[in-house]
Amino acid sequence: MIPVQGLAGAVVAVLGLGRSGLSAARALAAGGATPLCWDDNPAARARAEAEGLACRPLSRIEDFDEIARLVVSPGIPHLYPAPNTVVAAALEAGVPVDNDIGLFFQSFATGDWAAFDTPPRVIAVTGSNGKSTTSALIHHVLTSAGRPSQLAGNIGRGVLDIEPPQDGEVVVLELSSYQTELARSLTPDVAVFTNLSPDHLDRHAGMGGYFAAKRRLFAEGGPDRAVIGVDEAEGRFLAGQMAEGRGDDRVIRVSVTRKLTGPGWQVFARKGFLSEYRKGRQVGSIDLRGIEGLPGAHNHQNACAAYAACRGLGLAPKGIEAAFHSFAGLPHRSQTVGEARGVRFVNDSKATNVDSAAKALAAFRNIRWICGGLEKDGGLAGLGDLSASVRKAYVIGREAAGFALQLEVEAEVCGTMAVAVARAVEDAEPGDVVLLAPAAASFDQYDNFEQRGDDFVAEVARHL
């Protein structure tokens, strides 16, 4: 645990008692603060009270008379589309609002570091797609290189649940826009921006607010090194803001759409080959085509970002390449879950938006595509022409019929995962790929994308 510093003796309100909220309450108590908790869910309050944490409603301005700070869990809106009533009361009372990420950066460094040869570092990864795989891949490379490392944030453990860092340790954090937009302190040593595509637009009041939430990771603390995907206009703008000039190697630009040139530091992938250039000269390369855990151009982008972050810490290209080959990938992200009679079954349940689904579809051919769910803002226009890769779509979800009408390929309304997998198996021929890449949220039928992916895996197992 990372005990929270700077709030000893203060009463701190904690709103939301899921993983991050409970973790924050424990860390506040460990640091000498008095957490005062609330969650609308009685079961969540019962879990907190069983740990000795006090719970009390916090909906009026006068409830905050003795409270020094409000710590909010990521899923709770604080501005758009409308502030939660507790957040609104805190802001009206003039109480600062923070989250567990802000508390982490406030509390990470301690006096013990004076005895370390190498101070611990933090790599923080954000972006619309690929941040989980990029974070896990960086962690895997560091571990393979013998560097002590912990993985936390939006993946793995809560940030305040990690162990106090060792001499020379690297903490890798995956951070969502919900986490970066509210944290009062954001000071990573290396910040990574993978890409940007429309997502969570209601929460951020549009693309401008969404990008602004991501940009805070770079603007608030000024990382020593910034790894930035520049295949979108926002990434190019961000790289331009962070760099002092064309040759400023504190910024590493990353692309999977073109060769990057110039006097700076670039990492890009073309036709399955990763290249690293510095000062106009190639200094490293990796053939990504045979790496089973990183299939497709979207994973090549993840590989470039992870490579750049690790190179920024001084790791050698050959060591990074060796670690890439032993990376197994993450569940629910281009995960091969079975193969029979020449048919491959791939679970990419994490493809919860159009852009991530399009990237998953681009990684394979002869696809029997299982898709559908709770459609996000913007519709399905960003999928592009699927006729070259998709043989047929099998649509699930409560609104499967409406979803199917938007597809420009043959589509069958299946409704449930069981029916979709059964029909895809029945139709599949040797050389086909049965791919779950929903292009939609899961909440119409499942609690989360992991549960949806597990259902796919279970149905595939039944048929295999």
Tell me how long the chain is: 464
129 is in an annotated binding site: yes
CATH number of 11-98: 3.40.50.720
Helix (H) or strand (E) segment spanning residue 268: strand 265-270
130 is in an annotated binding site: yes
Residue whose C-alpha is closest to residue 395's, from 421, 376, 414 = 414
CATH topology of domain 108-325: UDP-N-acetylmuramoyl-L-alanine:D-glutamate ligase (3.40.1190)
| Angle, helices 354-362/296-312, rounded to nearest 10 degrees | 100
Helix (H, G, I), strand (E, B) or coil at 325: helix
Cα 90 from chain centroid (whole Å): 29
Would you give the DSSP letter of residue 375?
P
pLDDT at 376: 81
Residues 6 or more apart whose CB falls under 8 angstroms from that of 221 comprise 105, 185, 186, 187, 188
Name the residue ranges covered by the structural domains of the chain.
11-98, 108-325, 335-463
Dihedral sign for Cα atoms in the order 222, 223, 226, 231: negative
Structure-block tokens of residue 211 = 């990008």
Do 98 and 16 touch, CB atoms closer than 8 A?
no
Domain spanning 335-463: CATH superfamily: Mur ligase, C-terminal domain (3.90.190.20)
User: pLDDT (tens digit, 0 to 9) for every residue of the chain, 464 residues total?
Assistant: 999 999 999 999 999 999 899 999 999 999 999 999 999 999 999 999 999 999 999 989 999 999 999 999 998 999 999 999 999 999 999 999 999 999 999 999 999 999 999 999 999 999 998 999 999 999 999 999 999 999 999 887 899 999 999 999 999 999 999 999 999 999 999 999 999 988 778 899 999 999 999 999 999 888 999 999 999 999 999 999 999 999 999 999 999 999 999 999 999 999 999 999 999 999 999 999 989 889 888 899 999 999 999 999 999 999 999 999 999 888 898 888 999 999 999 999 999 988 889 989 988 999 999 999 998 877 787 787 888 899 999 999 999 999 999 999 999 999 999 999 999 999 999 999 999 999 999 999 999 999 999 999 999 999 98
387 is in an annotated binding site: no
pLDDT at 290: 86
pLDDT at 113: 95
Do 64 and 11 touch, CB atoms closer than 8 A?
no
Rounded CA-CA distance 435/358 in Å is 12
132 is in an annotated binding site: yes
Alpha-carbon distances of 38 from 7, 12, 14, 70, 265, rounded to whole Å: 19, 11, 6, 11, 47
Residue 402 corresponds to which amino acid?
G
Q: Model pTM? A: 0.86
Rounded CA-CA distance 30/327 in Å is 36
pLDDT at 297: 86
Radius of gyration of the chain measured on its C-alpha atoms: 23
pLDDT at 202: 86
Residues 6 or more apart whose CB falls under 8 angstroms from that of 407 comprise 371, 380, 383, 386, 393, 395
6 is in an annotated binding site: no
